Structure 1
């Protein structure tokens, strides 16, 4: 891909006082003119298929693909077939820089990655959430508060899904480990993990044992006990109700797993950490 023929500038896109702008674009099949920009761009494929042209080559994007583009990165977008629709959010570089300074845990990720553009994929439920947030941004305020209301939940959700595995581990394993944090998955135990991985259970077991030295059940139980600890502190639900939510109706087994994970019984854990902030005694 040749050098950028166009450099887009935020001063020409953002309204006075705004730090964000949202654009919806129908893409044609013509080969794109490469462009760069002096702002951060978050884009996703709303419909159809898109070819993403980059200096090092090209990649095909499908519905649900999300791309973070930093200032200075060169790219171009080309529709593939009919009805290719992309949503693009322009973000002021000063806003993104300040956001990253307030949240150092984001260093090296997303807009702050040293390589890029960075591509991620979202499922239909996650895309519905992004589109609802985009609609609020489109119809609401575009200042720093409005932009943060859009960006913070998205990045927080992505961070919660992040699982760092040893170099060389397959991507499907990282995705399954992240997805197994959801109650809808871990309630079904190791079977839920294998189903999410989309591989045969023996293959999943061998792979996670190789890269993490544990079984699918070990990973799932760790997520269950992390969830149980949060629920014990944040709710007044009974232990039986929380154990049921975790997919462990046997209270004796629940106690055993919780004590192994947190070093104390569920009751002691709750008493030590739960405080009534609504009607303190």
Structure 2
């Protein structure tokens, strides 16, 4: 299949740093792939898309985001009726500037050393936030300030929640890892994690060990202990209240888990790290 090269001066406005477009995608298989000299964020707004790469294709559902770099070669195809994608193109200068000021982005998203676009998943609430941000962006000029006001909250959110999974990891595992950050899920332990996947427990356990190096229970307990640490330093709740909020009503079990993950007891952790920045003593 041939490869077309799209140039930024044909896509971005003169002197501008970004351009946004929406499109209903044809169901016809693309006759060619393409690449470009700019960066592109694409998300599936509605329906199902097929993402063609040089060596494979993958189907993308609503909520899928792609971070496309200039060296990536790909094409999109609609699958079914009303398949819609949203694309935001960014100048190479803007993306380089972001990395120079935020080095923690190195190796992630637009800045990953990846042979194909990095793919992440957003739930319905997160997609609503993304679309609101895109609508606000459209009302502004194609300035770097408007681009950063759109990109930085998204990147910050993804950095906070992203689980480093290889590209071959199944979508359902990625969704479960993202969902596991929610108290309504981690309070139910491994059962909550498995419930989100819609798969059998044994299959989820094998897949989690393969891609995460942990069982569902180990993965959830790590999230619970991170939550407990935040509660210990950011609230005045009792240890029993914090343990219950983590979904661990047995206080002895909570102590053992916390000590295992943080190498100190909950009380020691609170004494060492809790500081009142509002009314310091």
**Which bin holds the TM-score, normalised by the shorter protein?**
0.7 to 0.9
Shift of 1:262: 1.6
Alpha-carbon separation, structure 2, partners of 1:264 and 1:34: 55
The residue that corresponds to 1:270 in the other structure is 270
Alpha-carbon separation, structure 2, partners of 1:166 and 1:43: 19
The residue that corresponds to 1:24 in the other structure is 22
Change (3 A) 1:140 1:167: closer
The residue that corresponds to 1:232 in the other structure is 232
What pairs up with 1:64-83 in 2 under 5 angstroms?
64-83=63-82
Classify the secondary structure of the residue corresponding to 2:2: coil
The residue that corresponds to 1:133 in the other structure is 133
Q: Report runs of 4+ in structure 1 exceeding 6 Å deviation.
A: 165-171, 210-213
Alpha-carbon separation, structure 1, partners of 2:102 and 2:241: 35
Say whether the 8 Å CA contact 2:7–2:38 is kept in structure 1. yes
Paired residue total: 279
The residue that corresponds to 1:280 in the other structure is 280
Classify the secondary structure of the residue corresponding to 1:199: coil
Alpha-carbon separation, structure 1, partners of 2:269 and 2:145: 37
Q: Which moved more, 1:9-18 or 1:68-77?
A: 9-18
**TM-score, reference length from structure 2:** 0.82
Does 2:6 match 1:3? no
Structure 1 regions of 5+ residues with no counterpart?
Answer: none
Does 2:76 match 1:102? no
Shift of 1:111: 1.5
Residues 80-105 of structure 1: CA deviation (Å, up to 9, x unaligned): 33322111111111111122233444
Residues 19-68 of structure 1: CA deviation (Å, up to 9, x unaligned): 22221122234554543322100011111233333333443333222222
What pairs up with 1:249-268 in 2 under 5 angstroms?
249-268=249-268
Classify the secondary structure of the residue corresponding to 1:28: coil
Shift of 1:222: 1.8
The residue that corresponds to 2:61 in the other structure is 62
Classify the secondary structure of the residue corresponding to 1:53: strand
Change (3 A) 1:129 1:232: same
Q: Which moved more, 1:10-19 or 1:143-152?
A: 10-19
The residue that corresponds to 2:190 in the other structure is 190
Residues 153-199 of structure 1: CA deviation (Å, up to 9, x unaligned): 32233334443479987775565445433322110012112213333
Change (3 A) 1:61 1:208: closer
What pairs up with 1:234-249 in 2 under 5 angstroms?
234-249=234-249
Alpha-carbon separation, structure 1, partners of 2:75 and 2:169: 31
Change (3 A) 1:228 1:89: same
Alpha-carbon separation, structure 1, partners of 2:137 and 2:43: 15
Classify the secondary structure of the residue corresponding to 2:85: strand
Q: Which moved more, 1:118-127 or 1:225-234?
A: 118-127
Say whether the 8 Å CA contact 1:165–1:211 is kept in structure 2. yes
Classify the secondary structure of the residue corresponding to 1:156: helix
Q: Which moved more, 1:41-50 or 1:231-240?
A: 231-240
Alpha-carbon separation, structure 2, partners of 1:58 and 1:212: 24
